[in-house]
Amino acid sequence: MDQIETGTLCTGGVISKAPDVIRVVSWNIARGYRLDGVTEFLLNNKADLIILQETDRNSRRTLYRNIAKEIAQKLRMNYVFGIEFQELSQGSYQSPAYHGQATLSPWPISKAHILRFQRQSKFWHPYWWAPKLPFLQRRLGGRMALRTDVSIGNRTLVVYNLHLESRSDDSLRRSQLIESFEDANRYSSNVPVVTAGDFNFDITQPGPSSAIANASFYNPFAGIAIQTTRPPRFGRSKAVDWILIRGGLRAASPQVHSSVTASDHYPVSLELHLPQVSDPCYEAASSRDDLGCPDLVDCPH
């Protein structure tokens, strides 16, 4: 369950040009049911960092595809996939099905690690009396954060890709969020950190908002009164998808893409201003081809 799949699909030499501003997209893609629509949006938005939740691998419901790998191939990006759950009704003993989180970028991704939260709901566990039917969603595993380093020139961005619990109450989700903050304390306060994903609750409420401030994170979406899920047949839309930043990062143009219908969640995006560095190899803005790869050439430094 803690195996991590990686792919290097945007290759070249040493990066000699790195941007001062990158585009970040976070999105729960609902297993990848509407993969063409997901890929179309990501291609058109030319993000430098893509943070996806509910990404299937070898699942019956998504035709046994490796969703993260297919997206990375079409976008010509590097990717890391971490397993959240083994879906017991979607595969077999010989050929198990999984879903989890995927982080993609045209820049190198390294040091991938799964932070499995200590507090978990027991709702998904298999029980002897519960048949392995798709609608019951019997699973092995647990909610987690996929932590990676993304190297943009000579700057390293630490990325936490979160999917917090959808069952139980907000206190459980808050404790899982705090676990990710505690893990981020391994880094000094000036290290750029992005924490993004499907939090499954409104973090602008006093409890989680206080935890975010205590961890020195900033929520660029706090002032945007737009819901991030499509309205269900019965019920209301919710604000559950977020991007948090700290460590000298500045955000601009936070946006909820409420016209996109390829998932039951809307993509959220922003422009991220990276901390300045003093290295002549990285002073120019990046140059990218149509599919998103940075220019990769030899650097004398």
pLDDT at 299: 40
Residue 88 lies in a domain: yes
Place of tokens 């604000």: 239
Residue 16 lies in a domain: no
> For residue 113, what is the domain's CATH number?
3.60.10.10
Residue 285 lies in a domain: no
Residue 93 lies in a domain: yes
Residue 298 lies in a domain: no
pLDDT at 295: 54
C-alpha dihedral (117, 109, 209, 228), degrees to nearest 10 = -100
Tokens of 106: 């045209």
How many structural domains comprise the chain? Answer: 1
Range of the domain at 221: 4-11+21-276
pLDDT at 278: 54
Beta pairing partners, 28? 53
Q: Round to whole Å and give the CA distance between 67 and 89.
A: 18
Residue 161 lies in a domain: yes
pLDDT at 34: 97
Q: Round to whole Å and give the CA distance between 159 and 235.
A: 32
Residue 287 lies in a domain: no
Kindly list the averaged pLDDT for each block of 10 residues, start to end, along the chain of length 301.
90 67 97 97 96 98 97 97 95 94 97 97 78 77 97 94 94 97 95 97 95 97 89 86 97 96 97 77 41 50 33
Residue 55 lies in a domain: yes
Residue 32, number of CB atoms within 10 A of its CB: 29
